């Protein structure tokens, strides 16, 4: 009896988590102008795509001139299978550009005078006055300072 109840609870939790991801992805697709939809990449979707792209690189796919259309299409199909969001290969091609811009910002911040890098938490640490002064001049850098950086591990593959 206890095992049956535990199995039902586990099934409901799995369904609830799946429905939560589905609701998040539905909310990510917002109506744009004239019936077109703009897409907001959620963190779990970005993580999935970046991991797939890193997997392609690890399998020695030639990426010196970028990814081929066939590889981008496979990643788009896998994303649909994973979370039910339909994207085209162009969206998959453009998405890593955003991360490249973030990684350039992170590299610049790591080279700041007074900045320390914490390898364990993958975080750039600025203390007191340095932090306040830098954030006053560059408010957009706040999301990268003194907080763990999402998807930093994938950066090494690119």
Please answer whether residues 89 and 76 qualify as being in contact, where contact means their C-beta atoms are separated by less than 8 angstroms: yes
pLDDT at 33: 43
Q: Which residues pair with 125 in a beta bridge?
A: 116
Res 5: pLDDT: 47
Say what the pLDDT of residue 31 is: 40
Q: What's the confidence (pLDDT) of residue 37? A: 58
What are the Cα distances from residue 122, in Å, to 42, 58, 61, 155? 21, 22, 28, 11
Rg (CA), the chain: 20
Single out the residue of 34, 31, 36, 42 nearest to residue 84, CA to CA: 42
Q: What is the pLDDT of residue 20?
A: 54
Answer yes or no: are the C-beta atoms of 112 and 137 closer than 8 Å. Answer: no
Per-residue pLDDT at 32: 40
Q: What averages of pLDDT result for each successive group of 10 residues across the chain (158 residues)?
A: 50 52 54 54 86 85 76 90 86 84 88 87 87 90 86 68
């Amino acid at each position: 009896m206890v095992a049956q109840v535990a199995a039902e609870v586990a099934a409901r939790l799995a369904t609830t988590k799946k429905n939560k991801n589905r609701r998040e992805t539905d909310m990510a697709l917002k109506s744009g102008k004239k019936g077109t939809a703009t897409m907001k990449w959620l963190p779990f979707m970005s993580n999935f795509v970046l991991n797939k792209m890193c997997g392609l690189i690890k399998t020695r796919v030639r990426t010196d001139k970028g990814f081929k259309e066939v590889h981008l299409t496979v990643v788009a199909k896998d994303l649909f299978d994973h979370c039910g969001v339909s994207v085209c290969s162009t969206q998959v091609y453009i998405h890593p550009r955003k991360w490249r811009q973030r990684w350039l910002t992170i590299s610049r911040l790591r080279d700041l005078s007074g900045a320390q890098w914490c390898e364990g938490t993958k975080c750039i640490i600025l203390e007191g006055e340095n932090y306040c002064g830098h954030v006053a001049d560059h408010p957009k850098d706040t999301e990268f300072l003194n907080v763990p950086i999402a998807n930093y591990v994938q950066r090494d593959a690119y």
